[in-house]
Chains A and B, each alone.
Chain A
Amino acid sequence: MTAWRLGLLLAACFAVLLLAPGLVAPQSPLALNPAMALQPPSTAHWFGTDDVGRDVFSRVVHGTRITLGLVTLSLLLSVLVGGGLGVVAGFAGGWFDLVVGRLADMVQTFPPIIAGVMITGILGPGAANLVLALAVIHLPNFFRIGRSAALAEAQLTYVEAARAAGFAEPSVLLRQVLPNVLPVLVLNFVILFPLALQIEAALGFLGLGVVPPAPDWGAILEQGKNFILVAWWLSLWPGVFVLLSALTMSLLGRGLAEKLGR
């Protein structure tokens, strides 16, 4: 269970950055100071400064809320829509299952990042479009997980018993089946989080994510790309933070999977 504990510890650290970034990094993530442009890491600026003299440490810390928030939001959207459709499709079956299932297949034909590039590329950069793209990419996954879990549950005796006791179908679905499917969806949320985070960062890196000057990790990496050989510190730290938060969620996912006995 050491993986679980390490995951919790890291998660606690990220929670602090998420809730009180100003406490950890009191300097402004947006204030310009051209006189201090591209300074290497020092005691005044732990992670150095960027091309317009902004404190990189502060930008990365304040970026936690933006990056992790956007990924969380998009996966929530995805689990609500995709997982919801999947549970209904698995429980009800029939034409609904068939139609939505084929739609999910089609989305899945595209490698995820390429689908993301298409959606954000066509709609243009911006937080809302980014969330939409990330949500759409992960819909089929939640759909399949929700569907197969609901399908398995629907065949169990307790569902039959609930029906025999006179519960209406929607009520059986919502009050009997859903609570049993929910843990699987939550686990899938945690497992998909690192992947979604990497796609978020990749889209930001391609200039298709959050609009500057917001200190999103992907956006900082995109900005740092142009100075990569003169100011490596601009690119190192946002990547380290992406790595660490992805690692945190992977560790939590493993622990959770063990706890759920899967």
Chain B
Amino acid sequence: MRAVPGDIVGQMLGQTGSDRSAEAALRGFFGLDRPLWRQFLDWLWATLHGDLGRSWYRGSAVAGMVWDAFLVTAELALATLLLATLIGVPLGVLAGIVRGSRLDAAIQGVNLVGLSAPVFWLGLMLLVGASQLLDWSPPFAWSGPTEDFGENLANLVLPVVSLAMLQAAAYSQFVRGLMVEQLGRDYIRAARAKGMPPFDIYFRHALANVMIPLVTFMGLILVQILGGVVVIESLFSLPGLGRLILTGIQGRDYPVVQGALFFVVVIATTVNLGVDLLYGLLDPRLKP
């Protein structure tokens, strides 16, 4: 159902890593709507002829900014993905195994609430909770993992937890559905009939077949997290890509916005491509 990754890659490769790609992507994006399209044309014109056009040629400056911001966002996104996977997948597997029970209903209830809570609001509440109950608040200044790892963790803990709750709920819901589907299949009944221990049935048979859709979903989640970081980075003042885009747009700093957006689109596309390549590894039938 998703856009065929090959297609997007084709677009990317067709215009190899220059700033024109971001423009072309934007062109397609804004082409949907007439007034927006005009806005874009004006902006393109100004970029090519006005003052902003110059900073295009100071490429290193924008690229450097985007790269620094990317490192922050990447750390945030990967930590979130890790935490969400560690919480969401086991919960989903558990709910799938005990489907129909009270525990299953409870996990599903928690999932629904987790899916409904706004990420930044959760962040705000965690901030209040930490300061009121634990008398602790994250440091104001950002420190990279190589500068001061402790400070870095203190910077990351609240944003990562607030981002991960939503994704863990999404994971858990998705994995539960997959497990329920697999456990209803004939091969599971056959395994049960021949007296295979339940542990092996769940973790060697069912889980192995859940892996492929799970990897696709992981890619989807990573792209989702990329969207979520915009708000969470602005809330916690983290100098990542999201905040770069937001401040860039607010300050009308288009070269930076373009550069950062281009980067985000490339990452999203790369993730989708990576997912496709992983299929081959996980399912030998799909090997060319």
Contact = CB atoms under 8 A, between A and B. Distances in A.
* Bound together: yes
B113 interface: yes
B231 interface: yes
Contacts of A206: 230-231, 234, 246
Contact of A110 (B32, B246, B257, B261): B261
Nearest to B226: A111
B161 interface: no
B70 interface: no
B264 A243 contact: no
B122 to A, nearest CB: 8
A239 B116 CA distance: 10
Contacts of A136: 32-33
B119 interface: yes
A117 B120 CA distance: 15
Contact of A202 (B2, B127, B231): B231
Q: Give the bracket for the number of chain B residues in contact with chain A.
A: 35 or more
Nearest to A240: B121
The dominant DSSP class at the B interface is helix
A44 interface: no
Interface string B5-20: 0011001000000000
B220 to A, nearest CB: 11
Interface in B1-44: 1-4, 7-8, 11, 25, 28-29, 31-33, 36, 39, 43
A7 to B, nearest CB: 10
Nearest to A140: B3
Contacts of A174: none
A232 B268 contact: no
B28, B36, B118, B137, most chain A CB atoms within 10 A = B118
A104 B112 CA distance: 29
Interface in B216-236: 223-224, 226-228, 230-231, 234-235
A109 B8 contact: yes
B118 A103 contact: no
A114 B125 contact: no
B115 A111 contact: no
A232 B43 CA distance: 41
Contact of B125 (A139, A144, A236): A236
Given A221-B120, A225-B235, A251-B112, A106 B28 contact: yes
Contacts of B1: 144, 148
B265 interface: yes
A242 to B, nearest CB: 5
Given A235-B125, A251-B112, A202 B246 contact: no
A118 B265 contact: no
Contacts of B223: 111
A198 interface: yes
Nearest to A235: B124
A136 B131 CA distance: 39
A123 B132 CA distance: 39
A194 interface: yes
A205 interface: yes
Contacts of A109: 3, 8, 25, 29, 265, 268-269
Contact of A123 (B39, B112, B257): B39
A43 B8 CA distance: 57
A105 interface: yes
A71 interface: no
Contacts of A108: 2-3
B249 A118 contact: yes
A112 interface: yes
Nearest to A199: B227
Contacts of A17: none
Contacts of B246: 117, 121, 206
Interface in A7-50: none
B72 interface: no
B261 A205 contact: no
Contacts of B29: 106-107, 109-110, 115, 118
B127 A228 contact: yes
B282 interface: no
Interface string A79-106: 0000000000000000000000011111
B250 interface: yes
A122 interface: yes
A225 B124 contact: yes
B128 A112 contact: no
Interface of B: 1-4, 7-8, 11, 25, 28-29, 31-33, 36, 39, 43, 112-113, 115-122, 124-125, 127-128, 131-132, 137, 223-224, 226-228, 230-231, 234-235, 242, 245-246, 249-250, 257, 261, 264-265, 268-269
26 contacts: A103-B28, A103-B31, A108-B3, A109-B268, A111-B224, A111-B227, A111-B268, A112-B227, A113-B228, A114-B245, A114-B264, A123-B36, A201-B120, A202-B230, A205-B120, A206-B231, A221-B118, A221-B120, A221-B121, A225-B124, A229-B127, A232-B132, A239-B122, A243-B118, A243-B121, A247-B112
- Please provide the 4 A-B residue pairs with the shortest distance between their CB atoms, ordered closest to farther: A111-B227, A106-B28, A121-B249, A239-B121
